Structure 1
Amino acid sequence: MGKVSGLTEAIARLVHDGDVVALEGFTHLIPVAAGQEIIRQGRRGLTLVRMTPDIVYDQMIGAGCARKLVFSWGGNPGVGSLHRFRDAVECGWPGALEIEEHSHAGMANRYVAGASGVPFAVLRGYVGTDLATVTDTIKPIVCPFTGEQLTAVPALNPDVTVIHAQRADRAGNVQLWGLLGVQKEAVLAARRSLVTVEEIVDTLEPVPGAIVLPAWAVTAVAEVPGGAHPSYAQGYSERDNAYYAAWDAISRDRDTFDNWLHENVFASAVGNNA
């Protein structure tokens, strides 16, 4: 079949009810279009994983896709709270949301452990914090060589990881550059992976500082120009700051959010070209 797919078909094939799903991207290259396609397809019972859940997870939570969030920070960057996330945690609307909170370093190391095929990661960063008192997946461990008190966190192996990148070739090799997060580790840790890209090209030309995810690590690629909006894709688009500011008012009220969802997500579809 090859790696190249339409977005609708790729989500239908790769994301299932009850899956552990990671949509990664750090300020840049956030796979928003893919998240909205998950909403359109009515997925339920998902465990959403992300180091920095922002508005795409707010939308998915508000749409009823999630039963749990595993994260290290959540908010509308530069603006304030995620109101659909808060409503789910505080009031159980549209359903109760379980949360599992870690530090950035803990989440990153969990992905690294998952990508490395080991059961857990060890780090110093939790010592002296109280996160272990509220998160069951943070456990003390003693170094067998020095006796030092450290902390273990279990590996993360999502059922599916979704990321956005600048481009891919027709064989499914993916090239991304600019401000990156844990996209590489999240893809390598996952059982299945989908990469939406700005464009599919015949040849990946070298770019300073770029990384390439080889086709063997990627399950599917979908060409979705603008698929990171309102975040940005270096070399292709700029961050839509007005969108983030407008989201605060949209997400505060349930009816306003529902109207927005039906007008801007359910009434439209993008990225279905194969």
Structure 2
Amino acid sequence: MAEFLNLHDAVARYVDDGATVAMEGFTHLIPFAAGHEIIRQGKRDLTLIRMTPDLIYDQLIGAGCVRKLIFSWGGNPGVGSLHRLRDAVEKDYPNHVEILEHSHAAMACAYEAGASGLPLAVLRGYVGSDLPKVNDQIKFIECPFTGEKLAAVPSIRPDVSVVHAQKADRKGNVLVEGIIGVQKEAVLAARHSIVTVEEIVDDLGATPNACVIPGWAVSTVAVAEKGAYPSYAHGYYPRNNRFYKEWDAIARDRGAFNEWLEKNVLTAGGDA
């Protein structure tokens, strides 16, 4: 059964310097509170994994927490680039970040393979793509049954996966509602997992076919109200679209970013 800890203690226990960390959530339920706690604790040399790195990864990179990024598409949704990511990749500020780019399909398949305990994922894709020229983790194999050329990528097996959800029950079972990404697969693929939730309840009230992450698969549950803000949590609060627009100007300038980080994460406790 999952252990219940506060967010500070959960991050301190499971996120080590040099760890491989997956933080997932698609459109909503993005684990901003957990990301800010990682920044506050000064974690370093992390390999971050995410299908669509957006603002929280821009913040982690700008704070100097990251050594490598494994991803598929990175940007500020509907706005533009991640300027702290670009500054790190192009100008080594605040440190150089190595990037390993995949397609969305490959990332999803790699998470599923990791959750299944498999060493690799096989998919139709990448044929004719330029990504294999810059990503040495993409290989091609021949199907032993049909002779078809298929792509193979390593499974994703993070040291720790971090996701946000609406609620957990007192046994540590977690309910994810709304748009579902790869949260369940990320948790099942990881050695350890941290799930932040809006609240703890006696009964999840899960409907048939609901996405429930079982308590036996979760290392720790931490309550973090508005833990996905400024993204949204279906049924709890809306997305702060204005902040996503404002982030472009904040992230473009090193001084503006560092000032924002000090005021909103390091000093004020992380409420964007």
TM-score range, shorter chain: over 0.9
Q: In the alignment, residue 125 of structure 1 is paired with which amino acid?
A: G
Root mean square deviation of aligned Cα: 1.3
SS in structure 1 opposite 2:197? Answer: strand
Between the two proteins, the alignment pairs up a number of residues equal to 271
In structure 2, what is the Cα distance between the partners aligned to 1:195 and 1:28?
Answer: 14
Confirm or deny: 8 A CA contact 1:169 1:202 kept in the other structure: yes
In structure 2, what is the Cα distance between the partners aligned to 1:117 and 1:2?
Answer: 20
Deviation for aligned residue 1:202: 1.3
Query: In the alignment, which residue of structure 2 is the partner of 1:88?
Result: 88
Deviation for aligned residue 1:59: 0.1
Query: In the alignment, which residue of structure 1 is the partner of 2:142?
Result: 142
Query: In the alignment, which residue of structure 2 is the partner of 1:3?
Result: 3
In structure 1, what is the Cα distance between the partners aligned to 2:134 and 2:206?
Answer: 46
Q: Deviations over 1:56-78 (max 9, x none)?
A: 00000000000000000100001
Confirm or deny: 8 A CA contact 2:175 2:206 kept in the other structure: no
Query: In the alignment, which residue of structure 2 is the partner of 1:27?
Result: 27
Query: In the alignment, which residue of structure 2 is the partner of 1:166?
Result: 166
Is the counterpart of residue 117 in structure 1 residue 117 in structure 2? yes
Q: In the alignment, residue 218 of structure 2 is paired with which amino acid?
A: V
Q: Deviations over 1:88-146 (max 9, x none)?
A: 00000000000000000000111011000111011111111111110011001011111
Confirm or deny: 8 A CA contact 1:224 1:270 kept in the other structure: no
TM-score, structure 2 as length reference: 0.97
SS in structure 1 opposite 2:140? Answer: strand
In structure 1, what is the Cα distance between the partners aligned to 2:73 and 2:209?
Answer: 27
Cα distance change on mapping 1:207 and 1:243 into 2, 3 Å: farther
Q: Deviations over 1:198-223 (max 9, x none)?
A: 10011111246531111100000011
In structure 1, what is the Cα distance between the partners aligned to 2:2 and 2:256?
Answer: 41
SS in structure 2 opposite 1:151? Answer: strand
Is the counterpart of residue 16 in structure 1 residue 16 in structure 2? yes
Q: In the alignment, residue 53 of structure 2 is paired with which amino acid?
A: P
TM-score, structure 1 as length reference: 0.97
Q: In the alignment, residue 105 of structure 2 is paired with which amino acid?
A: A
Query: In the alignment, which residue of structure 1 is the partner of 2:253?
Result: 253
Q: In the alignment, residue 243 of structure 2 is paired with which amino acid?
A: Y
Q: Which runs of 4+ in 1 moved over 3 A?
A: none
In structure 2, stretches of 5+ residues that fail to align are none
